[in-house]
Amino acid sequence: MGHLILRVTIKTLFAPIILFALYVQFHGDYGPGGGFQAGVILASAFILHALGFGLDRCQRVIPPSWLPVGMALGVLIYAGTGVYTLLFGGNFLDYDVIQPDSHHHAGQHIGIIAVELGVGLAVAATMLQIYYAFAGREPEPMDDSW
């Protein structure tokens, strides 16, 4: 039961870090932030959890087999938004095509949120995949252990 203070601190910070990632994700079109930053913040919450409670416990929550799916789905959401605008007569990522009758450019907001959601999902999955790859590897044998 070592590192009790560290584990309690990680449990206390885990939910607020995820909440902050969601804030950055959904307010990225109004100010600084967006998908990339939110994805890194979200991944950092799970990396912090893995550092405190072990990689195995983190991989039970987000299995490594899910990460390639998350990366691909994020790219598909991003590209799918652009293809959607192409199919309805606009340019690639021309968001006004999404809701052409809106006087408040609602299509811009919907399109930006969709693209940033795809970026956030892809970045979070990629960061976790990189962490899993480095944290899960076997240590190199020392020269004197041959």
pTM of the full structure: 0.86
For the chain (146 residues), the mean pLDDT of every run of 10, in chain order, is: 84 96 85 86 97 93 96 96 92 88 83 92 97 87 68
Whether 121 and 74 have beta carbons less than 8 Å apart is answered as yes
The parent domain of residue 83 ranges over: 4-136
Residue 145 lies in a domain: no
**Helix ranges, 1-146 (H):** 4-26, 35-53, 55-61, 66-87, 106-135
- What is residue 39's predicted lDDT score, i.e. its pLDDT? 96
- The CA distance from 3 to 44, in Å, is 20
- What is residue 107's predicted lDDT score, i.e. its pLDDT? 84
Residue 141 lies in a domain: no
Residue 118 lies in a domain: yes
- What is residue 104's predicted lDDT score, i.e. its pLDDT? 80
- The CA distance from 139 to 127, in Å, is 21
- What is residue 2's predicted lDDT score, i.e. its pLDDT? 65
- The CA distance from 62 to 16, in Å, is 18
| Number of domains into which the chain is organized | 1
- What is residue 99's predicted lDDT score, i.e. its pLDDT? 86
Residue 70 lies in a domain: yes
Residue 62 lies in a domain: yes
Residue 143 lies in a domain: no
